[in-house]
Amino acid sequence: MEFFADYGLFLLKAVTIMVAILVVIGGIASLTMRNRSDSEGELDIKKLNDELEDHQHQLRAVVCDKDAQKQLEKQQKKDEKARRKADKKRAKDGLEPSADPRKRLYVLDFDGDIRASDVELLREAISAVLTFARKEDEIVLRLESGGGMVHSYGLASSQLKRIRDRGIQLTVCVDEVAASGGYMMACLADKIIAAPFALIGSIGVMAQLPNFNRLLKKHDVDFELFTAGEYKRTVTMFGHNTIKAKEKFQLDLEDTHALFKQHVQHYRPRVDIEAVATGDVWYGQQALDRKLVDEIGTSDDYLINACEHADVYTVKYEQRKTLQEKLGMAVQQGIERAAVRLMTVANRQTQTKG
Alpha helices in 35-118 (DSSP H): 48-63, 66-92
Count other C-beta atoms under 10 Å from residue 19's C-beta.
Answer: 16
Q: What's the burial of 235, exposed, middle or buried (CB within 10 Å: 0-12/13-18/19+)? A: middle
Spatial contact of 203 and 172, defined as CB atoms under 8 Å apart: no
Count other C-beta atoms under 10 Å from residue 117's C-beta.
Answer: 12
Q: Whose CA is closest to 317, among 124, 113, 109?
A: 124
| DSSP letter for each residue of 104-159 | EEEEEEEEE-TT-TTHHHHHHHHHHHHTT--TT-EEEEEEEE----HHHHHHHHHH
The residues annotated as belonging to the active site are 180, 232
Tell me the angle at which helices 323-352 and 2-34 cross, rounded to the nearest 10 degrees. Answer: 160
Spatial contact of 299 and 23, defined as CB atoms under 8 Å apart: no
Q: Whose CA is closest to 315, among 98, 137, 99?
A: 137
Q: 105 has which bridge partners?
A: 138, 312
| DSSP letter for each residue of 290-333 | TTS-SEE--HHHHHHHHTTTEEEEEEEEEEPPPHHHHHHHHHHH
Distances from the Cα of 24 to the Cα of 331, 335, 350, angstroms: 10, 11, 29
